[in-house]
Amino acid sequence: MTGCSIFLGEGIDEATEKQLTEMSKHGFSGVFTSLHIPEDDKSMYLQRLQRLGSLTKKLKMFLMVDISEQALEAIGLSLMNTIALKELGITGIRMDYGVESEKIAAVSQTMTVGLNASTLSEEIVAEMQKFNANFKNMELWHNYYPRPETGLEKTAFTKKNQWLQSLGMKVIAFVPGDGTLRGPLFETLPTLEKHRQQHPLAAAIELLSETAVDEVYIGDSSIQKDTMIQFQKYFMQNIVLLRLQLFTKNYHELILVEHENRMDEARDVIRCARSRFRTIPTIEPENTVARLTGSVTLDNKNYGRYMGEFQLVKCNLPQDKKVNVVGQIMGKDKPLIPWIKAGQKYQLVEMERKE
């Protein structure tokens, strides 16, 4: 599952409804929000939470709320009154800031509980077992880190997640947004420091592929529409969508189509599995320049039987008179290239030209 974040310091208005509707249409099924962000106007929390819960119920989206007992009490709610919480549209509560294990165990009997994945220990698990916690209703949520240089390191993070998964609970982490960023720092909200300012989908694929994470949420307030489409393509159709600038008016029928990486994955390039089996015209030498990372190439007639082979370049390669450079993947999308593994489908679309 993928999800997004909505912050209660901002008004929950028609723009929020439009944003959530778009996210839902593009495959996002969860929403995360928090009741204890220091710079927020907390007097508006209950009204905005009611509005957000109404929206998520309408869209059939999961709503996880990060809380403390004090934050709930300040807006007239009780941690133990799960019926009232559910009526607001809340489907899960992430507990932190010293909530007693006995209370966590009690809440887990009737609704989803999110625990702090980074601080969970064997001692806490044993204590909740003592109080008969329902671990089937528990999820393990990592933090996001607004301040640069404070995000987690990948190796230790992965090792911790492997232990967390062994407990039989889902592990959830955050990736940065690339639309409206959350203040006051506006430095994106990732769980891993290496993902700060990175392409949200590239970060999500890495978390799910290599770090024992089960679900990914966007930490910031929004992602761009093009990025939303890329998420939908990947998670609903298993296609990596890449935007490129074309250098030629020719061969669009060979370039702007769905491709698939060969199963015998090459080190330096991504080779299209079917490119040389299509009916192709004679390809004359054109723009046979150095092939930079992200170059899109077609072998020309000087390559003999390889003429028509279509490739994406994974690292800087020299000029080759037998290879035409027909386009370039946009800089922002380059981090997606390494995730086009053996057998992975991918599709190229031309960037909109600015007049």
Distance separating alpha carbons of residues 1 and 98, to the nearest angstrom: 28
Domain boundary assignment for the chain:
2-237, 242-350
b/e per residue 318-354 (b: at least 16 CB within 10 A): eebebbbbbbbbeeebbbbbebbeeebbbebeeeeee
For the segment 34-44, what is each residue's pLDDT rounded down to a tens digit?
Answer: 987 655 566 78
Residue 259 CA to chain centroid, in angstroms? 23
pLDDT-based confidence at residue 73 (cuts at 50, 70, 90)? confident
Q: Which CATH class is domain 242-350?
A: mainly beta
Asked whether the predicted pLDDT for residue 340 surpasses 90, the reply is yes
Model pLDDT for residues 184-236, shown as the tens digit of each residue? 899 999 999 999 999 999 999 999 999 999 999 999 999 999 999 999 999 99
Between CA 255 and CA 338, with CA 312 as vertex, the angle to 5 degrees is 130
Q: Indicate the pairing of strand 239-246 with strand 30-34.
A: unpaired
pTM, two decimals, is 0.94
Q: 218: Cβ–Cβ under 8 A, 6 or more apart, which residues?
A: 2, 3, 4, 5, 28, 174, 175, 176, 177, 200
Mean pLDDT in residue range 67-78: 87
Q: Which pLDDT score is estimated for 65? A: 96
Backbone angles phi, psi at 274, to 5 degrees: -115, 5
What is the band of 109 on the pLDDT scale with cuts at 50, 70, 90? very high
Pick the CATH number of 2-237 from 3.40.50.11710, 3.30.70.20, 3.20.20.70, 3.20.20.140: 3.20.20.70
